[in-house]
Amino acid sequence: MAFKPGVHTPTIFIVLGATGDLMARKVLPALFNLFETGRLPARFQVVGFSRRELTTAAFQKYVEDILLTHKDIRPKRTARKKFIKAIQYVQGNFDGERDYERLAKKLAEIDKQWGICSSKLFHLAVPPHLYETILKQLARSGLTKGCGPDGGWMKVIVEKPFGKNFETAEKLDTLLGTLFREGQIYRIDHYLGKAMIHNILAFRFSNKLFEEGWDRDSIEQIRIRLLENLGVKDRGAFYDGIGALRDVGQNHMLQMLALTTMDPPQEFSAAGIRRKRYELLSTLRPFTRAAIRAQTSRGQYQGYSKIKGVAAGSKTETFFKINLELDAPRWRGVPITLTSGKSMGRNEKDITIVFKHPTPCLCPARSPHTFRNEVVFEIEPEESIRIRFWAKKPGLTMELEEREFYLPYHEKRVSRVEEYAKLLYDCIAGDQTLFVSTGEVQAMWRFIDPIVRAWQKNLVPLAYYKSGQPPKL
Ligand code: BG6
């Protein structure tokens, strides 16, 4: 990660929901990772805001315990102690007007101490039903206005799920839009923080060899898979109201599709890339009822309905498969499949591009019938790129065999902590490339909504499968 100009600006990182699960699992380890690798501004403070009655000293202890017990980090003592000194706490209720005033006072104190109007980054690390209350309170207390001549450098980070459907996403965006400009809103989709996902654009647009034939004339089909070994575990209450399609399809998988199929941006800037992702996602046409019946399928693993928090007899899908096409001149007619499921018995997350082979085939007599090439962007179990091609078998006869160029992306896999750290780093630096724009969110919901509604009406039967044995749909 090269330094970007914005990362030198004195910054206060305010976490709303500072004693919650997201803070402990992702935000703190990622901030610590940036700190210990020298990638935070020299003047940097974290201010936690939460309901729990804690003093700053008690909160610092709480943070230290999290750092010491988190499975993916090994904090050294000196770094840990230094990091903890940069952390403060304000106790408050999310709907408590006075509490936000105290928060504002705390931020003003830090600015006064630094003698500067610092950047403020508000991270909404809370369940989505609290967003509205928090945003309104932030606005009421003047916290979203900033202190500099042009309103300061304020930003807000919002986690997925971004709405439950088009309507709720739009409502949330309207509210955000009254308080912040689009350039200040950072909507996180953690898949965009994955190293292999960034690599798709680099691979495509820097290698003419592939980009030349990256279209309907040369590509026969595209398959995107997000198969997970784990089941829903202890997330029943959250998951049951959402289902697999909204949990990973509406966001991660459509973003994977956008990066794989978008047109080259005019320039490699955040605005250019986001624009092209958006344009591509806008070529997804909402399905008719007939298309939903014919092109989508869904399943649920046996035992799911017994999980704590899941409604008895729940019809929520834990598996889905969707066959779609893009309504774009470059892609019209190319079948695209999205497949995802929980409890699949393995982790397989990848994008496979299958290239056409001319027919009739000019192939030697003793050879397989098809000579398709494939490019695979593999995210799990390995992070790699695989290119499948055909070559002559060593020996005296002209016989072909399939071989593979295998490019492991790293010597050591980038950890989840670093993936999330990359997103926070870009947010601090003011680079929105890896964050989802309002247009993208809307385009994704426009496509997903009719399918969710049809499934809720049971238009497509739910297939039950045994854990570890994906349904053959
Ligand atoms: C999350 C979903 O957004 O993505 C989870 O809520 C899912 O259900 C996860 O398991 C998958 O992400 P990753 O990084 O483990 O592939």
Q: What is the CATH number of the domain that holds 344?
A: 3.30.360.10
Do 151 and 205 share a structural domain? no
Which amino acid, residue 472?
Answer: K
- Model confidence band, residue 150 (pLDDT cutoffs 50, 70, 90): low
For ligand 1, atom 10, name the residue with the nearest CA. Answer: 228
Q: For ligand 1, atom 4, which residue shows the shortest CA distance?
A: 248
Of 135, 159, 183, the domain-final residue: 159
Question: Does residue 131 register a pLDDT over 70?
Answer: yes
247 CA distance to ligand 1 centroid (A)? Answer: 8
Q: Which of 21, 190, 225, 413 to mutate to test the pocket of ligand 1 (most atoms within 8 A of CB)?
A: 190
Count of C-beta atoms within a 10 Å radius of residue 61: 13
The whole-angstrom separation of Cα 434 and Cα 444 is 16
pLDDT in tens, 162-193: 999 999 999 999 999 999 999 999 999 999 99
Counting from 1 in the atom list of ligand 1, the atom nearest the Cα of 191 is 14
- Average pLDDT over every residue of 81-97: 97
Greater confidence (156 vs 142) lies with: 156
Our answer on whether the CB atom of 247 is closer than 6 Å to any ligand 1 atom is: yes
295 is a domain residue: yes
Q: What does the pLDDT read at residue 359?
A: 62
Q: Is the pLDDT of residue 1 over 60?
A: no
Q: Which residue has its alpha carbon closest to ligand 1 atom 6?
A: 247
As a whole number of angstroms, the distance between CA 64 and CA 139 comes to 32
My answer on whether 239 and 293 are in the same domain is yes
If asked whether residues 58 and 200 sit together in one domain, one would say: no
Tell me the mean pLDDT in the region 232-241: 92
Same domain, 205 and 322: yes
Q: Which of 141, 159, 177 is the last residue of a domain?
A: 159
Q: What is the pLDDT of residue 218?
A: 95
| Top mutation candidate among 239, 247, 413 for ligand 1, by most atoms within 8 Å of CB | 247
Token pair 């779609």: residue: 324
Q: Give distance in angstroms: CA of 418 to centre of ligand 1.
A: 15
Does residue 303 fall inside a structural domain? yes
Q: Which of 159, 181, 210 is the last residue of a domain?
A: 159
Q: How sure is the predictor about 434, in pLDDT bands with cuts at 50, 70 and 90?
A: very high
Evaluate whether residue 473 is within a structural domain.
Answer: no
Q: Do 134 and 196 reside in the same domain of the chain? A: no
- Ligand 1 and 248: CB distance under 6 A: yes
Our answer to whether residue 252 is catalytic in this structure is yes
**Of the residues 164, 188, 228, 348, which should be mutated to test ligand 1's pocket, given the most ligand atoms within 8 Å of the CB?**
228
- As beta bridge partners, residue 14 has 47, 122
329, 445: one domain: yes
Residue 442 included in any domain: yes
Marked catalytic residue, from 8, 123, 252, 369: 252
pLDDT at res. 2:
41
Report pLDDT digits (tens) over 362-396. Answer: 666 555 567 889 999 999 999 999 999 988 889 99
Same domain, 226 and 344: yes
Q: What is the pLDDT of residue 296?
A: 98
**Percent of the chain residues topping a pLDDT of 90:** 81
Residue 403 C-alpha to ligand 1 middle, in angstroms?
A: 32
**146 alpha carbon – ligand 1 mean position (Å):** 34
Please tell me whether the peptide bond between 5 and the residue prior to it is cis, using omega within 30 degrees of 0. no
Question: Higher-confidence residue: 146 or 334?
Answer: 334
Please report which confidence band the pLDDT of residue 444 belongs to, taking 50, 70 and 90 as the band edges.
Answer: very high
CA–centroid distance, 189 to ligand 1, in Å, is: 10
181 within a domain of the structure (yes/no): no
Closest residue by CA, ligand 1 atom 11 = 248
Same domain assignment for residues 111 and 259: no
- Which residue, judged by its Cα, is nearest atom 7 of ligand 1? 248
pLDDT at 368: 58
Phi–psi pair at 15, nearest 5 degrees: -105, 115
Whether pLDDT at 3 is above 50: no
Determine the structural domain holding residue 124 and report its residue range: 11-159
116 has a pLDDT exceeding 50: yes
Residues 198 and 154 in one domain: no
Structure tokens at 347: 């982790």
Q: Is residue 323 part of a domain?
A: yes
pLDDT at residue 28, rounded to an integer: 97
Mean pLDDT of the chain: 93
Give the nearest ligand 1 atom to 419 CA: 14
Share above pLDDT 70 across residues of the chain, in percent, rounded to a whole number: 95
Instruction: State how far the Cα of 162 lies from the Cα of 139, in Å rounded to an integer.
Output: 20
Does ligand 1 lie within 6 Å of residue 326's CB atom? no
Lowest-pLDDT range of 79-83, 98-102, 107-111, 206-210: 206-210
Q: Is residue 470 in some structural domain?
A: no
Q: Please list, in sequence order, all residues whose beta carbon lies within 8 angstroms of the beta carbon of residue 416, skipping any fewer than 6 positions away.
A: 26, 72
Q: Closest Cα to atom 9, ligand 1: which residue?
A: 248
Tens digit of each residue's pLDDT (9 = 90 or more) over 301-314: 999 999 999 999 99
Strand order from edge to edge, sheet including 154-158? 87-91, 44-50, 11-16, 119-124, 154-158, 185-187
For ligand 1, the distance from its centroid to the CA atom of residue 112, given in whole angstroms, is: 41
- What's the total number of domains in the chain? 2
Q: Which of 164, 252, 377, 436 is the best mutation target for the ligand 1 pocket, counting ligand atoms within 8 Å of the beta carbon and taking the most?
A: 252
Could you tell me if the CB of 228 is within 6 A of ligand 1? yes
- In one-letter notation, the amino acid at residue 398 is M
Which protein residue has the closest C-alpha to ligand 1 atom 8?
A: 247
- Note whether 358 and 228 are same-domain residues: yes
Question: Quick check: is 187 in a domain?
Answer: no
- Which CATH number goes with the domain that contains 24? 3.40.50.720
406 and 276 in a common domain? yes
Whether residues 201 and 132 share a domain: the answer is: no
Task: List CB contacts of 133: < 8 A, sequence separation 6 or more.
Answer: 94, 95
Q: Nearest-5° angle of CA 239, CA 243, CA 247? A: 80
Sheet holding 400-408: strands in order across? 400-408, 384-392, 374-380, 348-355, 219-227, 336-341, 319-324, 296-301, 462-465
